[in-house]
Amino acid sequence: MAHNSLEAFVDGVQAAWGPLSTEVVADCRRLLEELLRAPASEAWLASLHEDAPASRELYRDREHGFVLLAHAEQAGLYRPPHDHGRGWVIYAIQRGEVEMGTYARVEDPDGRPRLVKRDATLVRPGEVKVYLPGDIHDTLCVTGPALVYRFTERDLRKEDREEGRVTRYVERDGVWTVGAA
């Protein structure tokens, strides 16, 4: 039985877990929205506010593989366009504001990939944003310090470093393109 909001979140995700589906994403989204309403007096959240860690793992599920991280971000912190490989992600804003842009990958007539920005959304406290496999996005901390939860359905560090499945983009001559030249 859960004793705090973080434990209730974990219990809820474990109960809802399954292959990627509309229902699983909706349940995880709802549970993250509930977690965002946790009272600041809960020890785990008070510690995040006090320590403001650049990154802290809050939970890793050994059976299902999902991970919940917290990131403290200062205003102006920009994370260039990237995808999450085969994984899907939900960002949740506990404090501050983060602008999240979305992109489509297209090819120039010569076959070189480039990104076209679709839009940008200002995500405020209490709000979440979902990215499915293949979605490309960037983030900019607009109002900080921000506290961002990042729920991933798998270990994205492994996905990136060991398996090389995450694509990062770089800006060249005003155009976002794949990182490898």
CATH number for the domain that contains residue 142: 2.60.120.10
Instruction: Give the domain extent around 162.
Output: 53-176
User: One digit per residue, pLDDT tens: the chain, 181 residues?
Assistant: 558 999 999 999 999 999 999 999 999 999 999 999 999 999 999 999 999 999 999 999 999 999 999 999 999 999 999 988 888 999 999 999 999 999 999 998 888 899 999 999 999 999 999 999 999 999 999 998 999 999 998 776 766 666 567 778 888 888 888 876 4
- 16 domain-assigned: no
pLDDT score recorded for residue 181: 46
**Number of compact structural domains in the chain:** 1
Closest by alpha carbon to 150, among 102, 91, 93? Answer: 91
- 37 domain-assigned: no
- 80 domain-assigned: yes
- 9 domain-assigned: no
pLDDT score recorded for residue 4: 95
10: tokens are: 């974990």
- 11 domain-assigned: no
**Mapping DSSP to helix (H, G, I), strand (E, B) and coil, where does residue 123 land?**
strand
Sequence-distant contacts of 116-123: CB under 8 A, at least 24 apart:
122/97, 122/98, 123/91, 123/93, 123/97, 123/98, 123/99
Helix axes 22-35, 5-16, angle to 10 degrees: 180
Residue 116 and residue 20: Cα distance in Å, rounded? 27
Residue 85 and residue 102: Cα distance in Å, rounded? 15
CA torsion angle 144 169 150 100 (round to 10): 50
